[in-house]
Amino acid sequence: MVFWGGTRQVFDLEKNNIREAGGVALAGGLAKNTSVRVVNLLSQQQPPGDAVCVAFVELFDTNVTLLKVRTPPTPRSPHPLCVDGGQAADA
Cβ burial of 50 (10 Å; 0-12, 13-18, 19+) is middle
Give the number of other CB atoms < 10 A from CB of residue 39.
21
Show the domain range for 38: 2-90
Domain count, the chain: 1
pLDDT over 50 at 58, yes or no = yes
Give the number of other CB atoms < 10 A from CB of residue 10.
15
Alpha-carbon gap, residue 5 to 30, rounded angstroms: 19
Q: Compare 4 and 37 and report the one with higher pLDDT.
A: 37
Q: Compare 25 and 53 and report the one with higher pLDDT.
A: 25
The predicted model gives 46-66 an average pLDDT of 87
pLDDT over 50 at 75, yes or no = yes
